[in-house]
Amino acid sequence: MENPFEIINNRLERIERLLENISNNSIRNEANINLPKIMTLKQLTSYLDVSKSYLYKLTSTNSIPHSKRGKRIYFDIEVINNWVLENKIWTQKDIEEQVNNYLMKNHRKF
């Protein structure tokens, strides 16, 4: 007769493997979302969830990276993603880590 704890352990291991497979598949599926490399103004309004007039304002003040071809405005999605993330708000923990790293590099004690 098998040890009941071994049976439970084997079942738990199978469940863990199945959950890892499910998790890995969902991560791959999210990464495979097909976004165009270049977006139009209409596509970008939907992607960023902002109004068309707001995007026009950003382009007219050169506040957002864009390209113009005739009357059409285009956006490189990678550049836009970087632009959106460049004004990161640091958490208290991030700030403390930066301070500690700075102090350790410069050997200052307070």
List the domain boundaries for the chain.
1-33, 36-110
Which helix (H) or strand (E) covers residue 94, if one does? helix 92-106
High-pLDDT (> 70) share of the chain, %: 87
- 40 - beta bridge partners? 74
Q: Is 75's pLDDT higher than 60?
A: yes
From CA 58, how far away is CA 105, in angstroms rounded?
Answer: 40
Q: Report the CATH architecture of 36-110.
A: Orthogonal Bundle (1.10)
From CA 83, how far away is CA 93, in angstroms rounded?
Answer: 24
Q: Report, as an integer, the average pLDDT of 20-36.
A: 68
